[in-house]
Structure 1
Amino acid sequence: MKKTRLWASLLALAFVGSCQNNDEIMDASAKQLEVHDKIVNVTHDGRPFSTGNSTSVNGKFVSGPGGGVMMQGFYWDVPAGGNWWNTVNSKLTDWSNAGISAVWLPPASKAQNGAYSMGYDPTDYYDFGNYNQNGSVETRFGSKAELEALITKAHAENMQVYADIVINHNSGGQSQANPFTGTNTWTDFSGVASGKFQRTYNDFYKNSYGNNDEGAFGGFPDLCHANPYVKSWLWEREDSVGKYYKNVMKFDGWRFDYVKGFGPWVVNTWNSNIGGFSVGELWDSNVNTLEWWANNANSSVFDFAAYYKMDEAFDNGNLNALNDDMMWKRNPYKAVTFVANHDTDVIYNKMPAYAYILTHEGYPTIFYRDYEEWLNKERLNNLIWIHNNKATGTTSILYTDNDEYIARRNGYNGNPGLVVYINSSSNWQERWIQTNWSNQQIKDFTGSSSWHPTTQGDKWVKIQCAPKSYSVWSLNQ
């Protein structure tokens, strides 16, 4: 959830209704609007990198040894006007071709600010742009039919679709006398247009179930998950919110907003009743807290620990920070890694950060604006291909100092793995490192280095990396 702009905008409503080669050294630390246009296409078969053109007959995502990559299919304040679902729909084939396995969509149901809302102030969970409510029929993103067409197209491309679920708070209710506060509160949702999950004051804290749960957000009515009526409508009934999203709308998974606001048992119970992939937005850099939540929620969690360590490493000249603890190191199967999202975009030097998450363990996420607007798409497609085809096995950190970081993916089930070399200095660097491979020729799959060294019998080899860049090495096959 947008912790600053959303709150400010809704309070204003007053709750009323790298790849470089030796000759072309690109500055990977350029800010978002710089476009790197000097890219060498070494091959067109996916090695060393995909250019974004389809490399398969049907142009559909096919899972590789390293798994897939999630696309965050929106950013804060995407254009209003009801065309966003169509915009995303038009990009799905290219994303699938590039190796994107899933797309995360913004909150899809009608919210208080109607056609202008980003969805994080939900009013009616069953209005996907098909009821005249809160000043509009369509949501900011479009109509229910357009959303359904997007999901159908994604599934045809072998991609999954994840819904952003906001169940900490609601907004857009009518005023009513509340005996638990002794005042009027905006908690009357008995008139929602869908007629489903009607709510009144006892469905929000404070109420007969207590004064509060783990946390409230921005003064919005705080939904009470302890109330059996609320639990029934969220995940138990056959027409519950979760089952409607999954069985009718055909969503495949969930991104839970602001999970600091309720206990991890809520997500755990949702997952037990509904199923599908899930990830929680627990905005906390403490890896112990992230691991605790993920285990108790039976869910993945965004790796904010890695996020802030990458900022320290790539923006503040301390690659040693990558030695520190992160969620993906604790449990890569429950860690969703990212470089930016709709809420936070603090990492300035993004390409090495993407090289990091797309070569390491965890489930990497690409931010829409980084991919479509701000960074070089061919370089990102190269890293996506490397992730899907080479990033296998456990991780061993081989070398770090302030300017250099080298790590090895140890390979799995016949896949050779890789070695990633990140260099933040202003000079070419070379290092002897131990690989997974004995007496084998290797190459840099980014195309940055022209070396094709052969590993020694003891698996040692010298590799190199261009200034302010990265290289990724694996068997030349």
Structure 2
Amino acid sequence: MLARTLLQFFHWYTPEGGKLWSEVADQAESLSQMGVTDVWLPPAYKGASGAASIGYDTYDLFDLGEFDQKGTVATKYGDLASLQKATRSLTDAGVGVIHDVVFNHKMGADETERVHVRRANPDDRNQIEDEAFEASAYTRFTFPGRQGKHSKFIWDMKCFSGVDHLEDPDENGVFRIANEYGAGEWNAEVDDEVGNFDYLMGSDIEFRNNAVYEELKFWGRWLPEQVACTGFRLDAAKHIPAWFFRDWVGHVRETVHPELFVVAEYWHPDMDVLQRYLDQVDKQLMLFDVALHHHFYEASKAGGGFDLRTIFDGSLTASIPDHAVTLVSNHDTQPLQAMEASVEPWFKPLAYALILMREQGTPCIFYPDLYGAKYRDSGDDGETHEVEMPAIPCLPKLIEARKRFAHGAQTDIFDDPHCIAIIRAGTAEEQGSVTILSNGEEARKTVPVGEGHAGQGFRDYLGHCEEEIFTDDAGNLEVRVNGGSVSVWVRSDAM
């Protein structure tokens, strides 16, 4: 069976103009041939900032670029017809379609309501004032442009647990809406950062309201009826009660397809925290390997000072590999973003080799690393910065190498702090490989590839080393790698 390889087909600064869905359609076949099995699309529904919305400021889940709302019909990525064409093109090419789900909050309400709220300490959300006061808040969503098509549900103050902005009086902060749910407290089964991390931004959705719960389950059934859907990426999972996603994922698997792929963004490096969350959701989903991403970042900064033998220590891939989605970069960690931790370009090929050529974990490729990206934005220093993220020249070949040569039993040779190797033995039907990488000087390593390969020639599939090398009579092969580089050695007759 072909090993799964995801591609995040967007980044935070994807250009406006409604062209992304068309680009997806144009690239679908070539991605399939390369070895990409699933494409993760950005949030496809209307955001509060209209045509400029990246999608995480959710306004209307049922507007996939179909209605004139927030100043536009199309979203930043295109209209409904182009989205449907894009997902059909992926399906026709045999590529899965992963949709981004942002359930934590809504923004851009159509009307204010008079609400009773209690102030919460932003640094310790469990400290909530006893006395409530009345104010106006943007909590009523009527979706006038849609006029009840697809869903007649109206969101109001009873659908939300908190807000961060009030009018009359005009005040910003964290405010708990006084309602009938949870005895006035935040949701449980969320991350314990700042005491309780239920509240993140905007109008925070109250999942204990059964009407809200049923509406979000309905949307989970509705979306796959509109566009191709083989899975979901769940945004901001640490802010949403685990019981909700446990029930919601079970529901969509039961009603849509039992094999839906689901990965949650629970951005935490601690394995005990992630294990507890997986237990709470009955291990129904995958999680991003945050710790491994941090290791890649640290290794890229330290150069030869990083011990490559420790690269997987404390990672989700090492401890719970069947639930790990591995990544080198994403839209939150790219330059000028809040969680910026951009892996240095020289190390990215090494990092991608480590997630693509090993059996453990499901790798996710980031759009700029495959196609490149240029953008500008202001930084923390208040200055405007021009950023260029160059495409990694060898990344397409690495993705192909995973498809063609990452097969069979795996042997990790992590015996040197600066040079490690991964042997994939292959199977009766599929070729294996030897991946070697160095964060220091040029290096060599003698590895066993089996007597069945005695006297066979091998070449570097990535082309970083040009020579042909041969196994000895015992099936041993001396592989080479350039300094600060990676090579994937495969049989010459497979080239």
Matches within 5 A, 1:102-141: 102-141=38-77
Matches within 5 A, 1:324-335: 324-335=313-324
Q: Residue 200 of structure 1 aligns with which residue?
A: 156
1:69 aligns with 2:85: no
Matches within 5 A, 1:158-307: 158-173=94-109, 174-179=111-116, 181=118, 182-191=134-143, 193-194=145-146, 195=148, 196=151, 197-205=153-161, 206=177, 207-210=179-182, 211-213=185-187, 214=190, 215-235=197-217, 240-275=218-253, 276-297=260-281, 298-307=284-293
Q: Residue 56 of structure 1 aligns with which residue?
A: none
CA distance change for structure 1 residues 113 and 387 in 2, over 3 Å: closer, same or farther? Answer: same
Is the CA contact 1:169–1:216 (under 8 Å) kept in the aligned structure 2?
no
Secondary structure of 2:326's aligned partner: strand
* Separation in structure 2 between the aligned mates of residue 308 and residue 455 of structure 1, nearest angstrom: 39
* Separation in structure 1 between the aligned mates of residue 364 and residue 205 of structure 2, nearest angstrom: 29
Any gaps of 5 or more consecutive residues in structure 1? 1-64
Q: Residue 428 of structure 1 aligns with which residue?
A: 442
1:382 deviates by: 1.1
AA at the equivalent of 1:248: Q
Is the CA contact 2:369–2:395 (under 8 Å) kept in the aligned structure 1?
no
AA at the equivalent of 2:348: K
* Separation in structure 2 between the aligned mates of residue 217 and residue 82 of structure 1, nearest angstrom: 31
* Separation in structure 1 between the aligned mates of residue 141 and residue 33 of structure 2, nearest angstrom: 43
| Higher mean C-alpha deviation, range 433-442 or range 267-276 | 433-442
* Separation in structure 2 between the aligned mates of residue 132 and residue 245 of structure 1, nearest angstrom: 19
Is the CA contact 1:66–1:387 (under 8 Å) kept in the aligned structure 2?
no
AA at the equivalent of 2:262: S
Is the CA contact 2:469–2:478 (under 8 Å) kept in the aligned structure 1?
no
Is the CA contact 2:67–2:73 (under 8 Å) kept in the aligned structure 1?
yes
* CA offsets 1:312-370 (integer angstroms, 9 cap, x no match): 22331312331413212223332111111111031113111112111122211111111
AA at the equivalent of 1:452: I
Q: Residue 397 of structure 2 aligns with which residue?
A: 382
CA distance change for structure 1 residues 407 and 208 in 2, over 3 Å: closer, same or farther? Answer: same
AA at the equivalent of 2:33: N
Is the CA contact 1:313–1:321 (under 8 Å) kept in the aligned structure 2?
no
User: Which of 404, 418, 424 is the aligned partner of 2:433?
Assistant: 418
Q: TM-score, normalised by structure 2?
A: 0.77
* CA offsets 1:109-164 (integer angstroms, 9 cap, x no match): 11111111111011111011111111221111111111111111111111111111
* CA offsets 1:352-403 (integer angstroms, 9 cap, x no match): 1112111122211111111112445651121111111222345432124332
Secondary structure of 2:44's aligned partner: coil
* CA offsets 1:69-125 (integer angstroms, 9 cap, x no match): 211111113111222212222222222222211111111111111111111011111
1:351 aligns with 2:323: no
1:172 deviates by: 1.1
* Separation in structure 1 between the aligned mates of residue 450 and residue 315 of structure 2, nearest angstrom: 24
Is the CA contact 2:221–2:252 (under 8 Å) kept in the aligned structure 1?
yes
* Separation in structure 2 between the aligned mates of residue 160 and residue 192 of structure 1, nearest angstrom: 33
* Separation in structure 1 between the aligned mates of residue 54 and residue 32 of structure 2, nearest angstrom: 25
AA at the equivalent of 1:302: F
1:453 aligns with 2:470: yes
AA at the equivalent of 2:137: T
Is the CA contact 2:105–2:201 (under 8 Å) kept in the aligned structure 1?
no
Secondary structure of 2:394's aligned partner: helix
CA distance change for structure 1 residues 351 and 228 in 2, over 3 Å: closer, same or farther? Answer: same
* Separation in structure 1 between the aligned mates of residue 29 and residue 431 of structure 2, nearest angstrom: 29
Q: Residue 153 of structure 1 aligns with which residue?
A: 89
AA at the equivalent of 2:38: A
Comparing both chains, which one has the higher relative contact order based on Cα–Cα distances under 8 Å and sequence gaps of 6 or more?
Answer: 1
CA distance change for structure 1 residues 295 and 396 in 2, over 3 Å: closer, same or farther? Answer: farther
Q: TM-score, normalised by structure 1?
A: 0.79
* CA offsets 1:8-56 (integer angstroms, 9 cap, x no match): xxxxxxxxxxxxxxxxxxxxxxxxxxxxxxxxxxxxxxxxxxxxxxxxx
1:391 aligns with 2:428: no
Is the CA contact 1:234–1:241 (under 8 Å) kept in the aligned structure 2?
yes
Is the CA contact 1:371–1:377 (under 8 Å) kept in the aligned structure 2?
yes
Any gaps of 5 or more consecutive residues in structure 2? 119-133, 162-176, 191-196, 254-259, 335-341, 373-388
Higher share in strand:
2
Is the CA contact 1:253–1:277 (under 8 Å) kept in the aligned structure 2?
yes
Is the CA contact 1:100–1:159 (under 8 Å) kept in the aligned structure 2?
yes
* Separation in structure 2 between the aligned mates of residue 293 and residue 409 of structure 1, nearest angstrom: 32
* Separation in structure 1 between the aligned mates of residue 333 and residue 321 of structure 2, nearest angstrom: 22
CA distance change for structure 1 residues 258 and 393 in 2, over 3 Å: closer, same or farther? Answer: farther
Percent of aligned pairs with the same amino acid: 27
Q: Residue 363 of structure 2 aligns with which residue?
A: 364
CA distance change for structure 1 residues 243 and 369 in 2, over 3 Å: closer, same or farther? Answer: same
Is the CA contact 2:404–2:431 (under 8 Å) kept in the aligned structure 1?
no
- Paired residues in the alignment total 407
AA at the equivalent of 1:403: H
* Separation in structure 2 between the aligned mates of residue 322 and residue 417 of structure 1, nearest angstrom: 23
Q: Residue 315 of structure 1 aligns with which residue?
A: 301
CA distance change for structure 1 residues 421 and 337 in 2, over 3 Å: closer, same or farther? Answer: same
1:201 deviates by: 0.9
Is the CA contact 1:192–1:198 (under 8 Å) kept in the aligned structure 2?
no
**Aligned alpha-carbon RMSD (Å):** 2.3
* Separation in structure 2 between the aligned mates of residue 446 and residue 98 of structure 1, nearest angstrom: 14
